[in-house]
Amino acid sequence: MSNKIVILDRDGVINEDLLGYVTKPKDFKPIQGSIESISRLSQNGIKVAIATNQACINRKIITKEDLEIVHKYMMSLVLEANGIIDYIAYCPHAPEEKCPCRKPEIGLLKKIEKKLNLPIKNSFFVGDKESDILAAKKYGCIPLLVKTGYGNKTLKTKSCPPAEHCFKNLKEAVSYILKK
């Protein structure tokens, strides 16, 4: 078993960010190359965890059960590509609830570390939003930014990682990770 782990945000990194919510499997549209990239990580002995904010639950747009159906669908796509997602941690709270697990806070990262019984400090965290980058930095992970989703907007923030940690998409980010 490898003790390597990569944390991924979901919307805007793995699937297209709809600027709304993915409420059904048919709404889940993988970004080109993302499913295969997750599979490449798995095939190289790297565990994959997802840390995703899903305020749609507490906003009553989707139930936890509906979210599980979407996640099972995403996991099945990865499985078909001979990969595995080891764990998905999500925060159901809206920003105004000030939840300690909602990114940019670090509760989801603590949950991943506990569930997988692996230290995640110094692990790569791939995201597209400033909240992903901030959570990664706060917990001692190495933030990688993808330009899909909100990535181009995040490039203009003070929190943006250095240029060598910014990538066109998950496929490019995974190629970089696998060289490390």
Is residue 11 flagged as an active site residue? yes
Taken in order of first residue, the domains within the chain and their CATH numbers are 5-179 (3.40.50.1000)
What percent of the chain stands above pLDDT 70? 98
- Distance CA(174)–CA(13), nearest Å, equals 12
pTM of the model: 0.95
User: Could you write out the three-class secondary structure of 45-87?
Assistant: CCEEEEEEECCCCCCCCCCHHHHHHHHHHHHHHHHHCCCCCCE
Residue 84 in 3-state DSSP?
A: coil
Going by pLDDT thresholds of 50, 70 and 90, the confidence category of residue 3 is low
pLDDT(51) > 90: yes
| Residue 174, pLDDT score | 97
Is residue 9 flagged as an active site residue? yes
Going by pLDDT thresholds of 50, 70 and 90, the confidence category of residue 32 is very high
| Residue 129, pLDDT score | 97
Going by pLDDT thresholds of 50, 70 and 90, the confidence category of residue 2 is very low
- Distance CA(56)–CA(154), nearest Å, equals 22
